[in-house]
Amino acid sequence: MDFLFLGATLVFVLATISITGALRTIRDAAVRTAAATESLLELERSREATRP
């Protein structure tokens, strides 16, 4: 019974770490996407400004 409890605790801890990592990756991807979008908009604005 002790091994069952230890195994269940280990699975719970590993699942928590995995979910935390996945959420961090999703959040970081959203930040990178927003930064890339802003860079593209800035590039488009600079192109518009330099057109005769």
The reported pLDDT for the residue numbered 49 is 86
The reported pLDDT for the residue numbered 21 is 93
- pLDDT under 50: residue ranges of the chain: none
HSE-CB at 14 with a 13 A cutoff on CA atoms is 6
The reported pLDDT for the residue numbered 33 is 93
Burial of 35 (0-12, 13-18, 19+ CB in 10 A): exposed
Q: What is the pTM of this model?
A: 0.57
The C-alpha atoms of residue 19 and residue 39 are separated, in whole angstroms, by 30
The reported pLDDT for the residue numbered 35 is 92
The reported pLDDT for the residue numbered 51 is 78
